[in-house]
Chains A and B, each alone.
Chain A
Amino acid sequence: MSDLRDLYQEVIFDHNRHPRNFGPLPGANRHADGFNALCGDKLSLNLKVEDGIIREARFEGSGCAISTASASLMTEALKGRREAEVAELFEGFHRMVKGEPYTVEMGKLAVLAGVSEFPARVKCATLAWHTLNAALHQADQPVSTE
């Protein structure tokens, strides 16, 4: 039996109640909207990228505790990172929430590892990351987790 506390850790509750980097980002030069058709979660992500480095990342929208906390933790993790690192981090994160072995250092993002015990919630955790992927590749269409 999967323990709910593996999924809903205190850090996740904290980021759900007080999401970091929440709100508009004036001067953003990367943007994408994400949508989880399963639960209706909507997410809007703005980035400021300079010289291949993510200087600022902020998000807006409404979602469940997992998707909100994941977006909040992601924006924290992105600041100061090189654009080129992001693909590797996303790959590692994706493997972690699916319960597959990964080698990338996850830092605080590791609190979301418990999602792997709840397959129905993997899409909640990855919505922000799919949206990030779209923002960096400047996709015109809103991304969906479907």
Chain B
Amino acid sequence: MFDPHLWRRQFPILERKVHGKPLVYLDNAATTQKPLAVLDAERYYFEHFNANIHRGVHALSQEASEAFEGAREKIRAFLGAAHVEEIIFTRGATEAINLVAQTWGRTHLEAGDEILISAMEHHANIVPWQMLCEATGARLKVIPMDERGVLLMDQADHLLTERTRLVGITLVSNALGTVNPVAEIIRKAHAVGARVLVDGAQAVAHVAVNVAALGCDFFVFSGHKLYGPTGIGVLYGKKDLLTAMPPYQGGGDMILQVTFEKTTYNQIPYKFEAGTPHISGAIGLGAAIDFVRSVGLENIAAHEDRLLQEATERAQRVKGLRIIGTAPGKASILSFVLEGIHPHDIGTILDNEGVAIRSGHHCAMPVMDFFSLPATARASFALYNTLEEVERLFQAIERVQKLFLS
């Protein structure tokens, strides 16, 4: 039996108090807290073998290189990628998407081509494609959704044409919690010759992913939403695609030979990793993946489902509360609004009760526009949250209504 109380001990921050009350951290969709295993791994690197990687002949550099490349291998196994060189380290999901847009995108798109995204993308999977459209004359199309937050797949069928070069789709919506049918989208996109980038930023901590089985061309995620450090993320790309892509940034590590006349680029993945990378971050992310695997993603998902189910049932009993995003099979996110109370006020009052949630547009302004809302309040769950914390959340919501509506 999965017991979140046991795992909570691995997260020192969960012991702290906020405004005199025990912290209830429900902003996991923004970033997760870090377990001791991750904190220790980073510290161990700095204390024992801090060095620059790949070129040093001394012991520290070799140990650092091994740990860094070891993390890459852990990520490969975690994603089910066929080859370790298909794993590129980036600063996060956002940089990974920009990398694809600026390298693959600029060499494969021209005026009249189309990029297809969905109505529930966050800004990181909208703006890089808009910039690419501006540079190439391509057009951005959007798969609409219904009022539950479910993509209208029959419309996707019409929007996918021989003009579609790329589909950018989030696996899990950060604002709504919807889990999208990416396998179906990938199949249909490939049928018209389009490539598919799956944004896994919100998914990897909740949903098991196998990129080889999915068949996606690109997959991106950020370490910090997977119990890992900030500033480190991953781009997975199919080997043949990455090999044919031009480099992203120029600098050290991404070259084989440099003269003032000509530079020969390094092989993948190094071609895309100019400069000294976030070594400690990569090592920390490797430790985070080990941690998540030791807990078991299926255990995590089942536990979070129980929390979400309980929270949803409680929410349905609160007068004036409207849940935003009611797709079946949601992952770990409860977005809501309270009648007559702005989400920002909800956030402040909940914080005063020690309950940390998100209030705002969740970097998904088009989603807010769709629901004609300026913002929502969002509670998002992680493996260390408990049913008692769900109770605390709703006691605090009661306090909000008492204060505002009395």
Q: What is A's interface to B at a CB cutoff of 8 Å?
A: 1-2, 4, 7-8, 13, 38-42, 62-66, 68, 118, 120-121, 124
> What are 30 A-B contacts with C-beta separation under 8 Å?
A1-B19, A2-B352, A4-B352, A4-B403, A8-B349, A8-B404, A13-B404, A38-B344, A38-B360, A39-B342, A39-B343, A39-B344, A39-B359, A39-B361, A40-B360, A40-B374, A41-B344, A62-B342, A62-B374, A64-B342, A64-B343, A64-B344, A64-B345, A65-B342, A65-B404, A66-B344, A66-B345, A68-B342, A121-B344, A121-B348
CB distance from B213 to the nearest CB of A (A): 39
CB of B368 within 8 Å of the partner chain: yes
CB distance from B227 to the nearest CB of A (A): 25
CB distance from B345 to the nearest CB of A (A): 5
Asked if residues B352 and A63 are in contact (CB atoms below 8 Å), the reply is no
Q: Which of B19, B341, B345, B365 contacts A40 (CB 8 A)?
A: B365
- Given known pairs A7-B348, A64-B342, the reply for A42 and B374 (CB within 8 Å) is yes
Q: What is B's interface to A at a CB cutoff of 8 Å?
A: 19-20, 341-345, 348-349, 352, 359-361, 365, 368, 374-375, 403-404
Residue with the highest number of chain B CB atoms closer than 10 Å, among A7, A62, A65: A65
- Tell me the complex Cα distance, A52–B368, Å: 40
Q: Which of A1, A4, A13, A63 contacts B342 (CB 8 A)?
A: A63
CB distance from B402 to the nearest CB of A (A): 11
Kindly list chain A residues whose C-beta atoms are within 8 Å of the C-beta of B360.
38-40
Kindly list chain A residues whose C-beta atoms are within 8 Å of the C-beta of B19.
1-2
Kindly list chain B residues whose C-beta atoms are within 8 Å of the C-beta of A38.
344, 360
- Tell me the complex Cα distance, A81–B308, Å: 53
Kindly list chain B residues whose C-beta atoms are within 8 Å of the C-beta of A7.
348
- Tell me the complex Cα distance, A1–B351, Å: 11
CB distance from A11 to the nearest CB of B (A): 14
Asked if residues B374 and A1 are in contact (CB atoms below 8 Å), the reply is no
Which chain B residue lies CB-closest to A118?
Answer: B348
Which chain A residue lies CB-closest to B360?
Answer: A39
Kindly list chain B residues whose C-beta atoms are within 8 Å of the C-beta of A40.
360-361, 365, 368, 374-375
Asked if residues A65 and B349 are in contact (CB atoms below 8 Å), the reply is no
- Tell me the complex Cα distance, A63–B374, Å: 8
Which 7 pairs show the lowest CB-CB distances between chains A and B? A64-B342, A40-B374, A64-B344, A39-B344, A40-B375, A65-B345, A40-B361
Kindly list chain A residues whose C-beta atoms are within 8 Å of the C-beta of B365.
40
CB distance from A8 to the nearest CB of B (A): 6
Asked if residues A8 and B403 are in contact (CB atoms below 8 Å), the reply is yes
- Tell me the complex Cα distance, A13–B59, Å: 66
CB distance from B286 to the nearest CB of A (A): 34
- Contacts A8-B404, A62-B374, A68-B342 aside, 18 further interface pairs with beta carbons under 8 A come to A2-B19, A4-B348, A4-B349, A39-B342, A39-B344, A39-B359, A39-B361, A39-B374, A39-B375, A40-B365, A40-B374, A41-B374, A64-B343, A65-B345, A66-B344, A66-B345, A121-B344, A121-B348
Which chain B residue lies CB-closest to A121?
Answer: B348
Residue with the highest number of chain B CB atoms closer than 10 Å, among A2, A40, A121: A40
Kindly list chain B residues whose C-beta atoms are within 8 Å of the C-beta of A42.
374
- Tell me the complex Cα distance, A7–B404, Å: 12
Kindly list chain B residues whose C-beta atoms are within 8 Å of the C-beta of A120.
348
- Tell me the complex Cα distance, A2–B361, Å: 26
CB distance from B401 to the nearest CB of A (A): 13
Asked if residues B344 and A124 are in contact (CB atoms below 8 Å), the reply is yes
- Tell me the complex Cα distance, A121–B351, Å: 12
CB distance from B22 to the nearest CB of A (A): 14
- Tell me the complex Cα distance, A66–B374, Å: 15
Kindly list chain A residues whose C-beta atoms are within 8 Å of the C-beta of B361.
39-40
- Tell me the complex Cα distance, A41–B374, Å: 7
Which chain B residue lies CB-closest to A120?
Answer: B348
CB distance from A76 to the nearest CB of B (A): 21
- Tell me the complex Cα distance, A121–B344, Å: 9
CB distance from A127 to the nearest CB of B (A): 11
- Tell me the complex Cα distance, A68–B365, Å: 21
- Tell me the complex Cα distance, A121–B342, Å: 13
- Tell me the complex Cα distance, A118–B361, Å: 20
Residue with the highest number of chain B CB atoms closer than 10 Å, among A2, A64, A121: A64
Kindly list chain B residues whose C-beta atoms are within 8 Å of the C-beta of A121.
344, 348
CB distance from A58 to the nearest CB of B (A): 20
